[in-house]
Chain A
Amino acid sequence: KNEVEQSPQNLTAQEGEFITINCSYSVGISALHWLQQHPGGGIVSLFMLSSGKKKHGRLIATINIQEKHSSLHITASHPRDSAVYICAVSSNTGNQFYFGTGTSLTVIP
């Protein structure tokens, strides 16, 4: 069983659509991270959050600690948002990171 589950695995959207990617986890965490992996392979950190909501440009991340669930939203999606989005959690019981398998997003012009 994976400690971190993401849905959907693949997502295709039209430019301008509102996009939601979901992440559920089963371990106690100190923080949850959203990462973006570009087609070339590079990985960048988008958000780190332990409660509530964070916003950066068109990206919004929320977390519900009680439900062990997080969502990543993209407003007014654009083709340049096409990437793999990875949810990861850092465990609060040790120095462990657990990663989801990623959501592959394609935004069509």
Chain B
Amino acid sequence: DADVTQTPRNRITKTGKRIMLECSQTKGHDRMYWYRQDPGLGLRLIYYSFDVKDINKGEISDGYSVSRQAQAKFSLSLESAIPNQTALYFCATSDSRQGSDTQYFGPGTRLTVL
């Protein structure tokens, strides 16, 4: 079983709809991240969380919100989806106790907003 899972893997929705992308991990890592990837651009950080009670905005947080329901779960919400949020979304985890910041990525969620 994959250590970092994302659901759904693919989603097509309409402008104005609320969407939630979910991420779960079995690695026991304390840190979790949400990124989006667009063609021709590098991965960009949306939000990150270093602990259950810690939420931080990343480079492109506008239009998104997150919830860290438990150490193993980190959800990304689009309150009112718009077409320019069409992208590939990745969740990632890292472990602050390892002394390295290597990140482990989920398989990605391809979101299309019509």
Contacts and interface: CB of A to CB of B under 8 A. Distances in A.
Interface of A: 2, 4, 30-31, 33, 35, 40-45, 48, 86, 88, 90, 95-102
A90 B42 CA distance: 14
28 contacts: A2-B42, A4-B42, A31-B101, A33-B103, A35-B105, A41-B88, A41-B108, A41-B110, A42-B105, A42-B108, A43-B90, A43-B108, A44-B105, A48-B100, A48-B102, A86-B42, A90-B101, A95-B56, A97-B33, A97-B43, A97-B45, A97-B101, A99-B42, A99-B43, A99-B44, A100-B42, A101-B41, A102-B42
Contacts, number: 50
- Specify the main secondary structure of chain A where it touches its partner: strand
B48 interface: yes
B103 A45 contact: yes
A33 B94 CA distance: 13
A96 B104 CA distance: 16
